[in-house]
Amino acid sequence: MEELRKSILDAKRIVVKIGTTSITHEETGSLNFAKLEKLVRILVDIRNSGKQVVLVSSGAIGVGRKALALKEKPQEKSLKQACAAVGQARLMMVYQRLFGEYNQTIAQILMTKVTLLDDVSRENATGTFRQLLELGIIPIVNENDTVATDEIEFGDNDSLSAIVAALVDADLLILLSDIEGLYTDDPNKNPDAKLIDYVEKIDKKIISMGKGPSTSFGTGGMETKINAARIATDSGADMVIASGENMSTLAKVLEGKNVGTIFKAHKNEEFDLIGFVENM
């Protein structure tokens, strides 16, 4: 396992997913600029070291909800999409300013299932990612919640980030969320729950550990993260689940430190990404 952690040091193409709860204040739902600034600084430093970086950022609906002064999480599709339209613009404006402080160019990519299922769209998306990364640009990806319907939405950015990792042939996917990793049981309910630091194979036992509720501002629980791990590892990328409470955790992961849970890559030549997306 120690050797696997060290192999992270050799990862050249890295996808980082940040959850809504990791970039907002729990009490208010407003953006946490201190954490965002540190996230951006670490990502730019990774890029400056010669590695390629893709950021999958949640938060558009949450930011829009806050801007529209909605007290409850929107349930109606049109209201969710209105929040996304307002929030995505605000979120990208913040990222533009923060990355600009370090002279780092960014790009926005919004996706739905159609992007993957349509051959031309998928080829174009892959080409766009490849060109941006070769130019040293950091793509910032989110689901296109403004136009997505139930039939064409991914539903959570954990799965989306794993699909992006597969699409760009990433070496490593890092999920930063409100949890420290995969536990043997819900640590909020069971004080004896233990953190699992290494998963070599995702079997039925591991899948059974993925039951859990979503948060008020974010979407998805451990189940979506294990699902993401199945996509990423089958596509040949290691995946790490770690806490986004302190952004220094990201740096520790990339230093090969023993934090979070690492899922070992096992390239599955029979893995059908398109078929997987169709059945989501």
Examine the pLDDT at 2 and tell me if it is beyond 80. no
For residues 153 and 135, give the distance between their C-alpha atoms in angstroms, rounded to a whole number. 29
Q: For residue 218, what pLDDT is reported? A: 37
Burial bucket for residue 12 (CB in 10 Å: 0-12, 13-18, 19+): exposed
Give per-residue pLDDT as tens, 213-225. 433 333 347 888 9
At 63, phi and psi to the nearest 5? -65, -40
Say if residues 43 and 108 touch (Cβ distance below 8 Å). Answer: no
DSSP conformation letters of 186-215? -TTT-TT--EE-EESS--HHHHHTT-----
List of domains in the chain: 2-278 (3.40.1160.10)
DSSP conformation letters of 214-275? --SSS---HHHHHHHHHHHHHTT-EEEEEE-SSTHHHHHHHTT-S-SEEE-----TT--HHH
Structure tokens at 257: 């430190």
DSSP conformation letters of 45-60? HHHHTT-EEEEEE--H
For residues 256 and 242, give the distance between their C-alpha atoms in angstroms, rounded to a whole number. 13
Give per-residue pLDDT as tens, 171-202. 999 999 888 899 887 777 888 888 899 998 88
Judged by DSSP in three states, 181 sits in coil
Please, which residues have CB within 8 angstroms of residue 66's CB and are 6 or more apart in sequence? 24, 28, 29, 30, 87
Please, which residues have CB within 8 angstroms of residue 80's CB and are 6 or more apart in sequence? 61, 74, 145
For residues 238 and 91, give the distance between their C-alpha atoms in angstroms, rounded to a whole number. 28
For residues 108 and 91, give the distance between their C-alpha atoms in angstroms, rounded to a whole number. 11
Question: Is the model more confident about 61 or about 101?
Answer: 101
Say if residues 233 and 215 touch (Cβ distance below 8 Å). Answer: no
What letter represents residue 36's amino acid? L
H or E element at residue 96: helix 77-100
Query: Full-prediction pTM beyond 0.85?
Result: yes
For residues 58 and 18, give the distance between their C-alpha atoms in angstroms, rounded to a whole number. 6
Examine the pLDDT at 68 and tell me if it is beyond 50. yes
For residues 57 and 141, give the distance between their C-alpha atoms in angstroms, rounded to a whole number. 6
Tell how far CA 170 is from the center of its chain.
13
Give per-residue pLDDT as tens, 253-278. 999 888 999 999 988 877 777 777 77
Give per-residue pLDDT as tens, 3-35. 666 778 889 999 999 988 899 998 888 999 999
Q: For residue 172, what pLDDT is reported? A: 96
The candidate with the shortest Cα–Cα distance to 21, out of 216, 165, 185, is 216
